[in-house]
């Protein structure tokens, strides 16, 4: 029997979908969302109908019979920390995705949309796989500088894992044999230290650690954030949007389009140029930090995500970090295939995990 699986991957600035028939890709596309399109939605859950409608329109345009689907796999979202793996949608998972118990992130919409579509298709199943809350941190990496705070594992787990396995396969080794630094460069930036198949340390690019990105502020001075919070000029929602949504390049130069900002820099816009340089500089600095986590023994540095298509940024980062280990570039994401293959494995009889 052949299986048809739809992958849904909502990001901060786009919604990617892909259709697979067994291991074979039928089509994939990236539905981009401009800042103006997303502006009317105060919270990410409010984007549910908007994104679901765009997905259905895309499928209709491509003449895809939705009732031919056997599974829909959405990118996992901001649920409680879980083991790496595949989880079938259930009531508890549905509730926690809506609540965003670890914060708001567009990836939470993946499972919700998958579930909504699957309920209209007789026999179809809905899953999430390797959500952003996969937690493999070593204990020392969890400690922050105050007892009321602790470091969290929130990162692009799906793409980190899939790119790590892809690189390992390309050199004839297993992912769990390698010591890697993987940097996902997209709407958010996450840089992780992968030690023998486990991500033992990674920055939390959602809540504000590590490098800034196209629309996230990254690490900010805590005292300065505290002063803004008590200035009475901003609400809590204002401050949270500064950290995630209206930070990064969006705040610095008024655009979250890396391609456009880099073009403006080349054409003589000094602020655009230094903003792009600073983005690359901070990513490279975080890679350097993760090299110490791996005690300087790094087999390779892997750069991935949508920004990895930008040769200027990749060259800047590579020049700074290539002394640590060979740099390999995997532009875009392997997430769509990874989502589908995880769903296919379950359809073929491999067990999936239960979210409790």
**Assigned token pair, 310:** 């930008």
Q: What is the mean pLDDT of the chain?
A: 95
- Output the CA–CA distances (angstroms, integers) from residue 122 to 69, 74, 116, 308, in the order listed: 9, 18, 12, 40
Query: In the chain, which stretches have pLDDT less than 70?
Result: none
286 in any annotated domain: yes
Assign residue 48 the CATH number of its domain.
3.30.420.40
Q: Which domain holds residue 12?
A: 4-134+335-347
* Dihedral (Cα; 180, 185, 189, 190), 10-degree rounding: -20
Number of domains present in the structure of the chain: 2
Q: Is 151 domain-assigned?
A: no
Residues 295 and 313 in one domain: yes
* Cβ partners under 8 Å of residue 113, min gap 6: 8, 10, 48, 51, 52, 55, 72, 74
Question: Is the four-CA dihedral 95, 116, 184, 217 of positive or negative sign?
Answer: negative
User: Which pTM value belongs to this model?
Assistant: 0.85
From 325, 327, 292, select the one nearest 313 (Cα to Cα): 327
pLDDT of 350: 94
Question: 28-81: per-residue pLDDT in tens?
Answer: 999 999 888 988 998 889 999 999 999 999 999 999 999 999 999 999 889 999
Q: Provide the token pair at 211.
A: 């490098």
Question: pLDDT, tens digit, for every residue of 320-352?
Answer: 999 999 999 999 888 899 999 999 999 999 999
| 139 domain-assigned | no
Here the tokens at position 265 are 């820099």
């Amino acid at each position: 029997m052949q299986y048809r699986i739809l992958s849904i991957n909502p990001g901060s600035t786009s919604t990617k979908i892909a259709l697979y028939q067994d291991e074979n890709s039928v089509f994939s596309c990236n539905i981009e969302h401009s800042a103006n399109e997303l502006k009317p939605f105060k919270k990410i859950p409010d984007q549910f109908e908007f994104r679901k409608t765009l997905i259905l329109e895309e499928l209709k345009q491509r003449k895809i019979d939705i009732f031919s689907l056997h599974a829909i796999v959405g990118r996992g979202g901001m649920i409680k920390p879980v083991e790496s793996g595949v989880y079938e949608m259930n009531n508890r998972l549905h509730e926690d995705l809506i609540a965003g118990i670890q914060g708001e992130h567009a990836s939470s919409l993946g499972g919700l949309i998958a579930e909504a579509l699957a309920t209209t298709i007789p026999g179809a199943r809905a899953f999430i796989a390797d959500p952003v809350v996969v937690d493999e941190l070593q204990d020392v990496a969890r400690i922050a500088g105050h007892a009321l705070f602790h470091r969290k594992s929130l990162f692009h787990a799906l793409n980190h894992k899939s790119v790590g396995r892809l690189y390992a396969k390309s050199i004839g080794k297993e992912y769990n044999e390698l010591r890697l630094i993987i940097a996902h460069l997209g709407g958010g930036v996450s840089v992780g230290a992968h030690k023998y198949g486990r991500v033992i340390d990674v920055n939390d690019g959602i809540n504000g650690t590590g490098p800034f990105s196209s629309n996230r502020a990254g690490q900010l001075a805590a005292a300065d954030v505290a002063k803004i919070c008590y200035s009475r000029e901003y609400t809590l929602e204002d401050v949270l949007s500064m950290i995630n949504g209206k930070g990064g390049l969006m705040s610095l130069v008024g655009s979250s389009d890396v391609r456009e900002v880099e073009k403006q820099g080349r054409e003589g816009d000094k602020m655009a140029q230094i903003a792009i340089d600073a983005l690359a500089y901070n990513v490279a600095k975080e890679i350097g930090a993760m090299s110490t986590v791996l005690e300087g023994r790094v087999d390779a540095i892997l750069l991935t995500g949508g920004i990895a298509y930008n040769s200027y940024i990749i060259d800047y980062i590579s020049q700074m970090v290539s002394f640590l280990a060979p740099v390999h570039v995997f532009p875009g994401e392997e997430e769509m295939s990874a989502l589908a293959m995880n769903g296919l494995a379950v359809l073929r009889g491999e067990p999936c995990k239960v979210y409790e």
